[in-house]
Amino acid sequence: MSRLWVAWLIERGLAALFFALLPPLLSFLEVPADLCWRASSGLLFAYLVSVLTRSVLARLRNPDMRVHVGAVDYYSRFALSVLVAVVQLLAATGLGPFAPLGWYLVGVTWLLALSALVFTTILRGRAA
C-alpha cells in the first residue's frame, strides 16, 4: 500500500509543477492569453477528474485506504477536488463571472495541497 501512496505523492507533485509551468510555456509559444488560460484550465479539469476517478476506484478496491489526515479526511478532500474541478471546467469553457488566471492558480495550489496531504499521510505512517 505504501508504494501507491508514494506514487501518488510523486505524481501530484509533478502534476503541480507541470501545471505551474504550462501557462508560461504556452505564452512563450505566443498562444493568446485567453486561450492559454482556457486550455490550461481544461487540462487541469481533465487531470482532476482522473485523480478523482482513480482515488474512488482505489478506495473501493482496498477499504484499508480509509485514512484520515487530521480534520481533512477523504470526504473533505474529495469535495474540495470536485469543487476545484468544476471551477476549472467553468474557466475552460469561458463561463462564470471570474477571471480565469486567479481560479487557475487556485487549482494548481490545490494540486500542491493534495501532494502535501499525501506526504503528511506517509510521514504519519498511516499509509501502511
* In a domain? residue 128: no
Cell numbers for 108, please give them.
494548481
Neighbouring residues of 55: CB distance < 8 A, sequence distance ≥ 6: 78
User: In the predicted model, what is the mean pLDDT of the chain?
Assistant: 84
Confidence at residue 71, expressed as pLDDT on a 0 to 100 scale: 45
* In a domain? residue 44: yes
Confidence of residue 128 (pLDDT cuts 50, 70, 90): very low
User: Which domain, by its residues, includes 88?
Assistant: 2-123
Return the half-sphere exposure (C-beta side, CA atoms, 13 A cut-off) of residue 67. Answer: 21
Number of domains observed in the structure of the chain = 1
Record the pTM.
0.85
* In a domain? residue 85: yes
**pLDDT tens across 52-100, in order?**
998 888 878 876 665 544 445 677 888 989 999 999 999 999 887 777 8
Confidence of residue 49 (pLDDT cuts 50, 70, 90): very high
**CA proximity to 65, closest of 9, 22, 1:** 1
* In a domain? residue 84: yes
